[in-house]
């Protein structure tokens, strides 16, 4: 069960120019007291072909947060166009709002973003080199894609640590029982338990769809 729920996300400056900052009002609810702060991160997907063009526009820590509803404004600068392939500047892309606790992502809100010219003639015959000064950024704010992930929270983390210690002690005992007593002094402790493979934080689902979306 998640200890934090995202109640509402509102884009306050939409549409706007390409160079305007992102401004998003986030309302979230905390179910139980948290020992550490929450992290909110905004990522701009520069290209569907590779994550190397993704840009983290902003990352902020929020806390300590009380139990109940809280609201704050997240502002992030516009992406650096020099880090985006020129053929991907105009058209549909994605911006991701990622929420993390103890470095683990527990919810991601994705929005389609369309960068295009307001002039009809330029839309039909766009310049070879994008004219960033007259590009308009529109976010499909009423159709977010929400993905939730299961993570260990404070109580879960403590229980997992206790379980890991017990399992390690059991393994040590089994290792000692498996060899003659005269060799026991040379047996070292087994290595730490391996962790489960992490998830990719970007492009989940949205990467495959972004160029086929109509904004």
172-209, pLDDT tens digit by residue? Answer: 545 545 544 333 322 233 233 233 333 343 454 554 55
- Phi–psi pair at 173, nearest 5 degrees: -65, -40
Q: What is the pLDDT of residue 6?
A: 95
Q: What is the pLDDT of residue 171?
A: 53
Q: What is the pLDDT of residue 50?
A: 87
Q: What is the pLDDT of residue 116?
A: 96
127-138 per-position pLDDT tens digit: 999 999 999 999
Which one is the CATH code of 4-149+199-212: 3.30.300.130, 2.60.40.420, 2.60.40.1490, 3.30.830.10?
Answer: 2.60.40.1490
To the nearest whole number, what is the mean pLDDT of the chain? 80
Q: What is the pLDDT of residue 201?
A: 39
48-94 per-position pLDDT tens digit: 888 999 999 999 999 999 999 999 999 999 999 999 999 999 999 99
Give the whole-angstrom CA distance, residue 50 versus residue 46: 8
Q: Is the predicted pLDDT of residue 37 greater than 70, yes or no?
A: yes
Token pair of 68 as six digits: 């109940």
- 64 upstream amide cis, omega within 30 of 0: yes
The secondary element (H helix, E strand) that includes residue 206 is helix 206-209
Give the whole-angstrom CA distance, residue 78 versus residue 42: 11
Q: Which residues contact 14 (CB under 8 A, 6 or more apart)?
A: 137, 138, 139, 141
88-127 per-position pLDDT tens digit: 999 999 999 999 999 999 999 999 999 999 989 999 999 9
Report whether 100 contacts 151 (CB < 8 A): no
Q: Is the predicted pLDDT of residue 27 greater than 50, yes or no?
A: yes
Of 64, 57, 69, 66, nearest to 26 by C-alpha is 69
Phi-psi region of 88 (alpha: psi -120 to 50; beta: other; left: phi over 0): alpha
Q: What is the pLDDT of residue 187?
A: 26
């Amino acid at each position: 069960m998640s200890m934090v729920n995202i109640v509402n996300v509102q884009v306050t400056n939409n549409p706007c120019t390409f160079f305007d900052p992102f401004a998003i009002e986030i309302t979230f609810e905390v179910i139980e007291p948290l020992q550490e702060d929450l992290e909110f991160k905004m990522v701009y997907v520069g290209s569907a072909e590779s994550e190397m063009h993704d840009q983290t526009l902003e990352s902020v820590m929020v806390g300590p947060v009380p139990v109940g509803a809280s609201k704050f404004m997240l502002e992030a600068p516009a992406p650096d166009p020099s880090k985006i392939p020129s053929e991907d500047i105009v058209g549909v892309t994605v911006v991701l709002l990622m929420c993390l606790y103890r470095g683990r992502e527990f919810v991601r809100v994705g929005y389609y973003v369309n960068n295009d010219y307001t002039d009809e003639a330029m839309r039909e015959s766009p310049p070879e080199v994008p004219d960033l000064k007259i590009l308009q950024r529109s976010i499909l704010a009423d159709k977010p894609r929400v993905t939730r992930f299961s993570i260990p929270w404070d109580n879960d983390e403590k229980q997992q640590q206790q379980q890991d210690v017990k399992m390690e002690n059991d393994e040590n005992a089994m290792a000692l029982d498996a060899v003659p007593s005269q060799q026991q002094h040379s047996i070292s402790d087994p290595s730490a338990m391996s962790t489960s493979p992490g998830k990719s934080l970007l492009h989940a689902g949205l990467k495959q769809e972004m160029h086929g979306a109509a904004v």
